[in-house]
A and B are shown apart, each in its own frame.
Chain A
Amino acid sequence: MRIAELVTAFAIAVFSLYLMWESGEGPSWDPTAVRFANIGINLNNEGPGSGFWPFWLSLVMFVCSIMVGINWFRRKSPPSRSKDRFLDTYGVKMFALVGGGLVAFLLLIGLLGFYGAIPIFLFYYIYVLGKHPWWLAALIGVGATVFCFFFFDVAMRIVLPKGALEPIFIPLYDIFL
């Protein structure tokens, strides 16, 4: 936990510096714009520039990440004193299986669309991870998919991407849309 606290503070500090750098970039249509010319409070009597808000807030974020680092050094915050692991064996396994499952779910949406990915993800989670009966997992998977189709595509007219399964849905469009 202690190492994670320091690494996170360092990552936030780096990200803050990156945000400050990006905030100072002038508009793309003005190649003559000087970096950080837009962070002032009263530019040409027109008030603060476009980079003013994000730049100074990112600076505050940077300063606070340094403070988190100082608190880590002085062991002031609970995570900086903790001897626990950031994620124990259960946590790592859960994170890999559930987080990985979610990433795979989104990748599957790209391939099979929402209506192919939803039942596969639900089956994986409920049957494989949850260890519930296969028929229950299949029932919930199919039920949720049918609900989503009628709710989004039919009722709300929001056509969810269908990927490679698009041809299967063409007859359904003719019936319901």
Chain B
Amino acid sequence: MEIVTLLLDGVWAALQPTNLGLAFLGVIIGLFVGAMPGLGSVNGVAILLPFTFVIQEITGTISSPMIFLAAIYYGAMYGGAISSITLGIPGASTAVATTFDGRPMALSGNAEKALVIAAIASFAGGTVSNLILTGTAPLLASVALKFGNPEIFALMLLAFATFIGLSGDDIPKTIISICFGLVMSAVGFDIISGAPRLLLFDSTQWFSRGIQFLVLAIGVYGIGEMLWTINSSRDSLKMTEANITLDRVWNAIKSFPEAWRGTTIGSFLGFFVGILPAAGATPGSLMAYGVTKMVSKNQEEFGKGRADGVAAPEAANNSASTGAMLPMMTLGIPGSPTTAVLLAGMVIWGLQPGPLLFTNQPEFVWPLIGSFYISNVIAVTVNLACIPLFLKVLRMPFSILAPLIFVLSVVGTYAAYQNIYDVWLMLIFGIGAFLLRILDYPLAPAVLAIVLGPIAEPKLRQSLLLSDGSWMIFLERPIAGPITIAAIILLLLPLYGFIRKRMRSGKTS
């Protein structure tokens, strides 16, 4: 009952004109970045994070900037479907699975049906996940209060192990990316002794203050990804026209029950995949599509424009994006690259993410959760009402959008730290990220690592101090033990797959 009261208070706070306006603005920006190919929620949140300081300054609250960023995250999940369906290329990686059936449906002359199903399924996914989040977050936070240094480090290990074991990327390259982020987070000075360290190339001007996470995040997502998109999307894109009339939209809404199975599977599965540290909405939506297809009696219709095939990934990516908030808010461990940026934002605003957030900062937590509900309603309304407008916006040439994003990245990095060396470093990281991306080096793990590094290192060192240097502390404790074992299993998973493959090929030969 207490939760309901807190939630209602939170919703009321989120409905205050300033917060409502910020949620509305955030959703619009999110829909835009989600719909633009090459931009996703993480780009939007990373590039706009420095601009939220003005929101904090004007409103005087910490929850308002977070409501704004969370609304961008939400909107982007809705927006991704628009380009997946009308252009046939995903607006963001989270909407990759939406192209499988959304595009064929659009090509068969039912673009408006695909867009409406995607919007309603997204709303359903968002609502289900919000309800689960509201019910479980305070409970998990109270359990997490018992966590000490070894438990928190074990959780971080699990986050990195998830990337290595489940991401499907090249494993040595994923590990390089993680280690790079973690080492970069150690540049500047030792957090425990205060001793200067890793002043690379003897340059105190560049590295004595450490490498700020935004410098890497904006470099990767504002410069590197943009260069990659310019390089890879050289062919002109052909947009499928959507014939939007009230009648056709109403008919599409009436046909939504066709998609109930995909919506249900996506809503629940997406949330639980989203909770997994470092998993996020992309694997969530792909998994939901796969499971929906697997349990369907009409598997052969998938890939040809089936409503369930549009609904499942869309419900799942919205649900997973809320699910990813759960470990971020209760444990201080981000569930996706976007929540990693949000987590770093919380640290910048002076909050300490983790279980104490619920007891020490209820005036931050509950308006934020309340805003998830509000943003969900705003997103579905704006999405359905503004589909024709977004189709027009999608025609905005990339040669106008790209330089504006470059300018935002440069100015945003300078505004955050007011140091021109950071801007140069951001550009160097961006160019490096572009070159590495061509060679299939995953970059999201590096961004996650630079956020988690300053938390993980002291936790590890304090744990080892406690155990006189024995690693067994991570296996012997009742909560840390199972988490560490789960991380080790995930780390060994690719090795198991490799051995099985070798044995099979041995048998065949």
**Chain B contacts with A in 386-432, Cβ cutoff 8 A:** 397, 399-400, 402-404, 406-407, 410-411, 414-415, 418, 420, 423-424, 427, 430-431
Out of A28, A95, A132, A155, name the residue touching B196 (CB < 8 Å). A28
B172 touches A64 (CB 8 A): yes
Closest to A105 in B: B410
A99 touches B415 (CB 8 A): no
A54 touches B427 (CB 8 A): no
**Chain A contacts with B in 10-47, Cβ cutoff 8 A:** 12, 19, 22-23, 25, 27-28, 41-42, 45-47
Is B234 an interface residue, CB under 8 A from the partner?
A: yes
Out of B51, B197, B403, name the residue touching A50 (CB < 8 Å). B197
Q: Provide the bound-state CA to CA distance between A67 and B415, in Å.
A: 40
B residues within 8 A CB of A87? 231, 438
B interface, by DSSP: helix, strand, loop or mixed?
helix
Q: Provide the bound-state CA to CA distance between A130 and B406, in Å.
A: 14
A residues within 8 A CB of B182? 53, 57
Which of B173, B196, B199, B407: most chain A CB closer than 10 A? Answer: B407
With contact pairs A105-B406, A125-B399, A125-B403 given, residues A46 and B179 touching in the complex (Cβ less than 8 Å): no
B198 touches A47 (CB 8 A): no
Q: Provide the bound-state CA to CA distance between A19 and B207, in Å.
A: 13
B403 touches A122 (CB 8 A): yes
B411 touches A114 (CB 8 A): yes
B400 touches A106 (CB 8 A): no
**Chain A contacts with B in 91-144, Cβ cutoff 8 A:** 91, 94-95, 98-99, 102-103, 105-106, 109-110, 114, 118, 121-122, 125-126, 129-132, 136, 140, 144
A residues near B (Cβ < 8 Å) are 1, 4-5, 8, 12, 19, 22-23, 25, 27-28, 41-42, 45-48, 50-54, 57-58, 60-61, 64-65, 67-68, 71, 77-79, 86-87, 90-91, 94-95, 98-99, 102-103, 105-106, 109-110, 114, 118, 121-122, 125-126, 129-132, 136, 140, 144, 148, 151-152, 155-156, 158, 160-161
Not counting A12-B176, A65-B176, A105-B410, a sample of 18 additional A-B residue pairs whose C-beta atoms are within 8 angstroms of each other reads A4-B438, A19-B183, A42-B464, A45-B468, A48-B461, A50-B195, A53-B186, A64-B179, A67-B172, A77-B173, A90-B231, A99-B434, A106-B410, A106-B424, A109-B423, A114-B414, A148-B411, A158-B418
B residues near A (Cβ < 8 Å) are 51, 53-54, 57, 170, 172-173, 175-176, 179-180, 182-183, 186, 190, 192-193, 195-200, 223, 227, 230-231, 234, 397, 399-400, 402-404, 406-407, 410-411, 414-415, 418, 420, 423-424, 427, 430-431, 434-436, 438-440, 457, 460-462, 464-465, 468-469
